[in-house]
Each structure stands twice: as C-alpha cells, then as structure tokens.
A and B are shown apart, each in its own frame.
Chain A
Amino acid sequence: MKDDYLWDKSGQPDPEIQKLEEILGTLRYQPRPLELPVSRRRSYLPLLAIAASLLLALLAGGIWLRTRNQTAPQPREAKVISTPSPIEEKKPEPKIIEKPVAPQEVIAVNNKHRHKSVATALSKREREEALLAKQQLMMALRLTTEKLSLVHRKTPNTTPANQIKNQHRVG
C-alpha cells in the first residue's frame, strides 16, 4: 500500500512521507512569466584602458621628442667660415676665421671686480661657454639690427615696431 502511494499517490500515505512532502513542497516548481535578462551594459573599461595607454604613450613620445630637440647638441660656437674664391687656388681648404674679441668682452674677462659674483657662480667651463654664447648673441643681434636697419632705410616712414602698432589699430 505504502509503496503504491510512492508510485502513483494511491492508497494510504505514510505520515512521514507526507511530512517530507510538506517540507519539500515549498521548493516545488511554481509557474511564472519568463523574465528575459535586461541587456547588460557593455563595459568600456578595457577600451578606456587601451585608449589611456595609447594617449600616455603618445604624450610620453611627444615630450621625449620635444626634450630631445631642446637638448640636442647645438653648435656652441658661432661659425664664420670663409671658403676661398675660385681665383685663390693656393688655399684649397676652407678656413675658419677666428672672430676678434670685442673690447667689452676683454673687459668682461679681465675685470674681476665687475663680474666677481658671476665668476664665483660659474665654473671655468661654464664661463667659457657663457662667453661664447655672449659672442654669438652679440653677433646675432648685430646681424638682426643690420637687417632691420636696412628695412628702416628702405621704408623710412615705417619701422617694424610702428607697423605692429598700426596693425593693432587696423585689427
């Protein structure tokens, strides 16, 4: 009898089995409408990580290129190179003319009192470098002012500085 109940729920149920049924009945399948999973949000984290890495690499590359250009060995000495004219065949090699040192620079070198603080601040090598830089600077400014004075001569009524002022007025 009891076996029949277990087989097809006929006959007398065993109280123990009934108790078990009640306990396990709570876990019975209960029909309910199908809930489809809402579309999951796609994670952009990997993409962001890749993009950030690329950006960092690009920025690092850019900074490196910039610093490399800035610290690239520059010619430290202004060069005035004179090559012989075709007529002068005796001197086939181009020669570098030593620049005459301006009297002011001689004073700058010799006058210890004048640049005492600078002399103590700069080492000998730095000082030589600074002197060369000063010579270059003077040479560059001389050339620049020469060209600007040529402009001034050709356009007597307008100096470049005036032109800027005029541009502001126009603009």
Chain B
Amino acid sequence: MKALFRINLILSLLIALPLVVHAQDSRLQLGSLDHLAAKANQTVDVSIDERLMKMAAKLLSDKDTDERDVKKLVEGLKGIYVKSFEFETEGQYSAGDLETIRTQLRGPGWTRLVNVTSKKEGNLEVYLLFNGDMVGGLAVLHTDLKEFTVVNIVGPVDLDKLARLEGQFGVPELGVEKKTKNEQ
C-alpha cells in the first residue's frame, strides 16, 4: 500500500511538473481580445516569437548604436506580443476583457510594480514575472476610456536597457502618439 502511495506521489509530481513550468511561462494569452479589433478604429497587433526575434536580430547592425542597443535588449528574449486597440467612442471594451488579462497577471510569479491612475491618461499598470531573482517577463496594461493596450515581453527583459531605448531609435510612426497628443 505504501509503495502504491509512493508511486502515486511520484507520478503526480511528474505530471504536475510540466503544468507548474507552464504556469511560470510569462506569455499571456491575448487571443480573447481579438474581438475588439472589429470595434476599434485602430489596432496594433504584434506577435514575435523566439524564432522571429532571432531572425530580426540578424538584421540589427552592430555598428549602429541604436540597433546595437535593441540587439542587446532582445538577446535572450523569447517573444514580444502586443495588442493595442483605439476606439472612436468610449465603453467599447468590457470589464470582462480587462479581467481576462488581470486574472493571468494575478498568477504565480507576477508582481505589479506600478499602477498609475490618471483622468487624462487612464490606468497604467506594469507587471514583472520573477523566476526566483531573475526577471522572466514583463507586462504593461494600459486602459483608457478609448484605448486598451497590452504589451507582453517574454523572457529576461532588462528594464534599464529598455528605458535607455526610449525615443532613441527610428521606429515607424504609427500615429498612435500623435493622436494622443492631439486629443490632449
């Protein structure tokens, strides 16, 4: 009987191990937000997995300072996923949409670092996933009356490097920022 119990225990642990590992995965499931694209007047949908990240990194030059910084930042990252919706009118996304993301961010390992609430800018939350002492992922959740944005970086992200990139490299203008400024 004891032997059977031991076997069961070992089996349970072995079965639970991949589930635990999966739970520590910092990738968020953002598929549930896809229906918002139909309501949005502007949608940004970025999905870069590890393979694409490596391919993109090959094209980043070591001679160009900005690209070198980006290259250093993305080294070791396993993916970057972004979903951003801008709406013409208010109340296009539901509390349930927000909850699907927040529920995942309440999972084990995730820590909310910042929560900024502003009448103008809306609600901005920054989360980090810790695997022990190591940062295993980043999530930024920005919700405004007319905007819903989730950024999810999977892998050991260096926030110092990320902060240094701010406004340094020539990324194609999407009009997102311009519009926000105009609205302000």
**Measuring CB to CB, which residues of chain A are less than 8 angstroms from any residue of chain B?**
44, 47-48, 51, 54-55, 58-59, 62, 66, 70, 74-76, 78-86, 99-104, 108, 114-115, 118, 121-122, 126-127, 129-131, 133-152, 154-155, 158-161, 163-164, 167-168
Chain B positions 37 through 68: 1 when the CB is less than 8 Å from some CB of chain A, otherwise 0 = 10011111111111011011011110110110
8 residue pairs A–B, Cβ–Cβ below 8 Å: A78-B46, A83-B41, A85-B88, A86-B88, A126-B55, A148-B162, A160-B128, A164-B159
How many of B's residues come within 8 Å of A, CB to CB?
72
Residue in B closest to A168 when the chains form the complex, CB atoms: B133
Alpha-carbon gap, A158 to B81, bound state (A): 25
Q: Is the interface of B mostly helix, strand, loop or mixed?
A: mixed
CB of B152, distance to nearest CB on chain A (Å): 9
Residues of B near A75 (CB, < 8 A) are: 45, 47
Alpha-carbon gap, A123 to B62, bound state (A): 21
Q: Is the interface of A mostly helix, strand, loop or mixed?
A: helix
Asked if B49 and A139 sit within 8 Å, CB to CB, the answer is: no
Asked if A154 and B121 sit within 8 Å, CB to CB, the answer is: yes
By CB atoms of chain B within 10 A, which of A47, A51, A81, A86 has the most? A81
CB of B108, distance to nearest CB on chain A (Å): 16
Asked if A138 and B169 sit within 8 Å, CB to CB, the answer is: yes
Residue in B55, B126, B176 whose beta carbon sits within 8 Å of that of A146 in the complex: B176
Residue in B40, B63, B171, B172 whose beta carbon sits within 8 Å of that of A83 in the complex: B40
